[in-house]
Amino acid sequence: MQFFISLAKTQSRSVFLLLCSNSIYVLCLVQICKPAWVFSLYASMRHCLLILASAFILQSCTSGGDSKRDNEEQSADSISLNESFPKGQIIDRVMCKNDTSQSYALYLPSNYSKEKSYPVIYAFDPHALGKLPVSMYKELAEQYGYIIVGSNNSKNGTTWEDSQSIANKLFADVGNRLSVNTQRIYVLGFSGGARVANALAITNGSIAAAICCGASAPMFNSNAPRSNYSFFGIVGNEDFNYVEMRKYDMIDLAGHNMKHLLITFDGKHEWPAVSIMDDAFWWLTLNDMRKNIATKSDQLIAKRFEVALKQIELQQEKKELFETYKLCQKTINFYDGLADLSFCYSTYKALQSDTEVDKQLKLEEGIWTEEEELKQQYLKAMQTKDLTWWNKDIAALNQKIRAGKDKNKILMNKRLLNFLSLAAYMQTSGALKQNNLPAAEFFCKIYMLVDPANNEAHYLMAEIFVINRKNKEAIKSLNLAIENGFTDIARLQNDVAFSEIKNTKEFSDAIKGIK
């Protein structure tokens, strides 16, 4: 993928670097300030739009060697030291032996034994919360017999050099201390962590597959990227990166000799629920059965395949042709070479030439273009329109969501609100770092308009108020943040912005209100 840089300067000489890949955009903040930007757009892209997201780059890690074909046999090159980690329970923090500043959360299946080798999933959270994905998916790790590891160091904003060091130390420490099947190493990530995961898979020959949630485009563009790994994407239909992931799966990966699939769920930009992630674990297992590096279970395959066929038949009965079409695609991708797919293939082939399916595909592409154009317009409006305009426009957007009849348009408008929430957050936090309080207050008010239940918006407004010596308003906003789910006591207590009110009764009462 080719990247270009577009510069936009503000009156205060603030600069943004816009890194673009096809129609996928990532904004790297250098400085932020006053309104009135000039956006330089890439001419060859039709109606391209800015997707604000955190970009992460992680270079390749130590490659593993070959292991025995049966996943239950001891891997020849997997080193298991004489250590005893608890099994069947989460270990919040395992310190890396060669660098105690680095750690990871760990879950070993209850049947773990140093006499066998196990597949491993390395998980990357954008906020270095390694325990979060480990705790969410430990039941799946137990069910499928996987080791799951969550980095406590990889996070948004990490430099390339630091990310490379984190990856190398994490892979080396786990590989040296646990019995890992080196043919079954996978990476998993959400949002910026997904960009880390995909960059790792592209550049590291030891990784068999990447599971990317809420983002897909890797920021590291290798001169010789791999295409022989597997990619599994998961995205909510209200996620501001939805279009990015749809295009990555349908366009960017098209023509590559690699197995890939994207599934969607009803939800926003978030780690997928366990029931959704189960598809990813099962998909990995089926791929390994196909390659004969995992024990094939015909009985289990038949059981789950039967469920998939019933889902297709149910959609057919409802005459939901487009849903039937997508389910056939998914089932073929999952069970190719492992089950009799004649029914799926015949159904899929017939639907490929169906006018209703063709119409839905074209409508979806049209929505993508419209969504990108609207995002571009909103970003310009953020620099040129006043709060009166924003009040009216956001009210109109919410009305379209409430009263809309077209499901695709309703979802698009929800994604627009989520996109604006991210954009307003970035503008607000950036302006605060530059001590530009008027700009920070303006953007934060937009933030609260588009996402009134977001505790971060109220927290940032509390910071702005206390800096402006409006302590009563600051406490009020702080309590609103807590009412909307703010729980980070350590952040609140260590935030220098609240230094002047930390010893007040009102501040202590606010902390007591945190659940």
For residue 276, the domain's CATH number is: 3.40.50.1820
pLDDT average per 10 residues of sequence, the chain (515 residues): 30 31 34 32 34 34 32 35 83 94 97 95 97 98 98 89 84 95 97 93 92 91 72 97 94 88 96 98 98 95 97 95 96 97 97 94 92 96 97 97 94 97 97 96 98 97 96 97 95 94 95 90
Regarding whether 361 and 328 lie in a shared domain, the answer is: yes
**What angle in degrees, to the nearest 10, is found between the helix axes of 505-512 and 471-483?**
10
- pLDDT score, position 225: 62
- Based on the fold, state whether residues 113 and 35 are members of the same structural domain: no
Using the 8-state DSSP alphabet, how is residue 273 labeled? P
pLDDT at position 11, please? Answer: 31
Q: Are residues 160 and 270 in the same domain?
A: yes
Determine contact, residues 458/478, Cβ cutoff 8 Å.
Answer: yes
Based on the fold, state whether residues 361 and 227 are members of the same structural domain: no
* Reported pTM: 0.82
List pLDDT tens digits, range 329-378. 999 999 999 999 999 999 999 999 999 999 999 998 899 999 999 999 99
Q: Which residues contact 391 (CB under 8 A, 6 or more apart)?
A: 449
Q: Is residue 216 part of a domain?
A: yes
Look at residue 306 and tell me if it is in a domain: yes
Per the structure, the count of domains in the chain is: 4
125 and 269 both lie in a single domain: yes
Half-sphere exposure of 240 (CA within 13 A, CB side): 19
Note the pLDDT of residue 224.
56
Same domain? For 330 and 378 the reply is no
**What pLDDT does 219 receive?**
74
71 in a structural domain = no
Would residue 444 count as lying in a domain? yes
- What is d(CA 93, CA 87) in angstroms, rounded to the nearest whole number? 14
Q: Is residue 60 part of a domain?
A: no
Domain of 419 in residue numbering reads as 368-512
Judgement on whether residues 206 and 347 belong to the same structural domain of the protein? no
Q: Which residue has the tokens 């604006």?
A: 420
Bridge-based pairing of strands 118-124 and 90-96 is: unpaired
CATH number, domain containing residue 455: 1.25.40.10
User: Going by C-beta distance under 8 Å and a sequence separation of 6 or more, which residues neighbour residue 427?
Assistant: 32, 382, 439, 443, 446
- 204 and 111 share one domain: yes
Same domain, 99 and 246: yes
Answer yes or no: is 67 within a domain. Answer: no
Classify residue 487 as exposed, middle or buried by CB count within 10 Å of its CB (0-12, 13-18, 19+).
Answer: exposed
Nearest to 27 by CA among 16, 35, 14: 16
| Cβ–Cβ < 8 Å for 103, 94 | yes
Q: pLDDT exceeding 70 applies to what percent of the chain?
A: 83
